[in-house]
Structure 1
Amino acid sequence: MPIYRLLQNLPMGPEEVDRMAAAFENALRTVGIQDRNDPMAEMIAKKIIEIGQIGVRDPAEISARAIQELGM
Structure 2
Amino acid sequence: MPIYRLLQNVPLGPDEVKRLADAYEHTLSVLSVKDRNDPLAEFIAKKIIEIGQTGLKDPAQISARAIEELGLP
Q: Give TM-score, length-normalised by structure 2.
A: 0.97
Which digits, 9 at most, give the CA deviation of each residue in 1:13-33, with x for residues without a partner? 000000000000000000000
Say whether 1:43 aligns with 2:43.
yes
Matched-pair identity in %: 68
Aligned residue in 2 for 1:64: 64
Q: Within 5 Å, which residues of 2 pair with 1:1-12?
A: 1-12=1-12
Count of residues in Structure 1 that have an aligned counterpart in Structure 2:
72
Equivalent residue letter for 2:24: F
Q: Please, which runs of 5 or more residues in structure 2 have no aligned partner? A: none
Unaligned runs of 5+ in 1: none
Equivalent residue for 1:29?
A: 29
RMSD over aligned Cα, in angstroms? 0.4
